[in-house]
Amino acid sequence: MTDAKRLTLAHGSGGEPMQQLLHQHIQPLFDNAILARQEDQARLNMTLAPGERLAFTTDSFVVTPLCFPGGNIGTLAANGTLNDLVVGGARPHYLSCALIIEEGLPLETLQALLADLAREVRAAGALVVTGDTKVVPRGAADGLFINTSGIGVIPAAVDLGTHRLKAGCRLLVSGPVGDHGAAILACRRELALGGDLISDCASLWPLVKGMLEEPGLLAMRDATRGGVNAVLHEFAAAAGLSVELEEAAIPVRPAVRGLCELLGLDPLQLACEGRLLAAVEADAAERMLERMHAHPLGSGAQLIGRLVPQRNSAVIVRGLYGVERSLPAVSGELLPRIC
């Protein structure tokens, strides 16, 4: 490193300073033989049994601030892409990691964030096998953006997706909603109630691995940007059905509810980063819920509603005394750079 403390444009040049950065500071964090080969592409010795399919996904992460209670852009970039594989029923195998760094970022910051990213990927049994490093001049980006793409394998017996949704199936959420969005909000506005607001950022693989062994699973989504509300509207639109929710069943932490009341927000519209919504056959819903409760990541799981033949609203919430209200799709921007 020509400058031991901060990243410079030379670290993105393709020349010697970049090679040094990669060899000395980045590759060791991911420590695997495929990445260490340093070719322009990772070569993967995979075998696919008959009926197995590859899952392939990508996400860019632009969250601000880079670190927040419960996580950082590194844990988010790992778990966000792992979860996009997992909710399709895929076991995660390989991730890429592409960095866009604003000149001046402290090397120590980058290393700490990538160490966290590497740890989360390893914990899910996957490897970071290829990457890219760009450094842009001050002001051309904001600190650090990370793109991760992922490859997983969907077992032959698994077929999840909105094409399997049908009237009567039940909707389960794996835990309290809105934690990530609330944590970012409190953190940015420096609200005093920040102490209890912690992002739920986590890999869902350990939970989903068990759920895939249960019968009756039809579709899953992780409730990120747009929160549970966005997933419900996507389910309703894709299936040509409506969603009926029981308001009392929706798990929301007191601190998140407090923040929402203070700011006039709906917890269903706040992003989660470690929660999934599952659609399950009606007669399998109770057993699935038990299975979810058996894992720490699903200990707060709840049966929150069902899909019904199309009504005049896509998503309907039944509150106290059976009073119904319709939950509109989000049309504005609630909170930019949440993930």
Indicate which single residue of 30, 68, 78, 84 sits in contact with a second copy (rule: CB under 8 A). 84
C-beta of residue 220 within 8 angstroms of C-beta of residue 84: no
Question: Binding of a second copy at residue 191 (CB under 8 A)?
Answer: no
Segment holding 285, helix H or strand E: helix 285-293
CA 138 to chain centroid, in Å, comes to 29
Place of tokens 């039940």: 170
Helix axes 73-86, 107-123, angle to 10 degrees: 30
What minimum distance in Å lies between the beta carbon of 269 and a second copy? 8
What minimum distance in Å lies between the beta carbon of 119 and a second copy? 20
**C-alpha–C-alpha distance, residues 298 and 67, integer Å:** 25
Q: Which is nearer to a second copy, 191 or 329 (by Cβ)?
A: 329
What minimum distance in Å lies between the beta carbon of 320 and a second copy? 27
Candidates 10-18, 68-76, 207-215, 302-310; binding stretch for a second copy (CB under 8 A):
10-18
CA 211 to chain centroid, in Å, comes to 18
Question: Binding of a second copy at residue 98 (CB under 8 A)?
Answer: yes
Residues in Cβ contact with 60 at an 8 Å cutoff, skipping those fewer than 6 apart: 145, 146, 147
Question: Binding of a second copy at residue 333 (CB under 8 A)?
Answer: yes
Candidates 25-33, 131-139, 202-210, 259-267; binding stretch for a second copy (CB under 8 A):
131-139
Residue 177's closest CA among 244, 234, 229, 245?
A: 229
Candidates 9-17, 189-197, 259-267, 287-295; binding stretch for a second copy (CB under 8 A):
9-17
Distance from the first to the final alpha carbon of the chain: 30
**C-alpha–C-alpha distance, residues 306 and 284, integer Å:** 13
Place of tokens 């998503």: 315
Q: Which is nearer to a second copy, 312 or 331 (by Cβ)?
A: 331
Question: Binding of a second copy at residue 253 (CB under 8 A)?
Answer: no
What minimum distance in Å lies between the beta carbon of 290 and a second copy? 26
Question: Binding of a second copy at residue 94 (CB under 8 A)?
Answer: yes
**C-alpha–C-alpha distance, residues 289 and 278, integer Å:** 10
What minimum distance in Å lies between the beta carbon of 321 and a second copy? 29
Candidates 56-64, 115-123, 165-173, 190-198; binding stretch for a second copy (CB under 8 A):
56-64
**C-alpha–C-alpha distance, residues 105 and 124, integer Å:** 28
Indicate which single residue of 7, 10, 243, 292 sits in contact with a second copy (rule: CB under 8 A). 10
Candidates 57-65, 106-114, 209-217, 305-313; binding stretch for a second copy (CB under 8 A):
57-65
What minimum distance in Å lies between the beta carbon of 307 and a second copy? 17
Tokens of 291: 């299975």
**C-alpha–C-alpha distance, residues 159 and 218, integer Å:** 7
Candidates 35-43, 172-180, 203-211, 285-293; binding stretch for a second copy (CB under 8 A):
35-43
Candidates 69-77, 216-224, 250-258, 316-324; binding stretch for a second copy (CB under 8 A):
216-224
C-beta of residue 206 within 8 angstroms of C-beta of residue 79: no
Indicate which single residue of 33, 39, 264, 312 sits in contact with a second copy (rule: CB under 8 A). 39
Place of tokens 């490093």: 133
β-partners of residue 219 are 279
What minimum distance in Å lies between the beta carbon of 19 and a second copy? 8
What minimum distance in Å lies between the beta carbon of 254 and a second copy? 25
β-partners of residue 161 are none
Subset of 136-155 contacting a second copy (CB under 8 A): 136-137, 139-142, 145, 147, 149-152, 154
Question: Binding of a second copy at residue 132 (CB under 8 A)?
Answer: yes
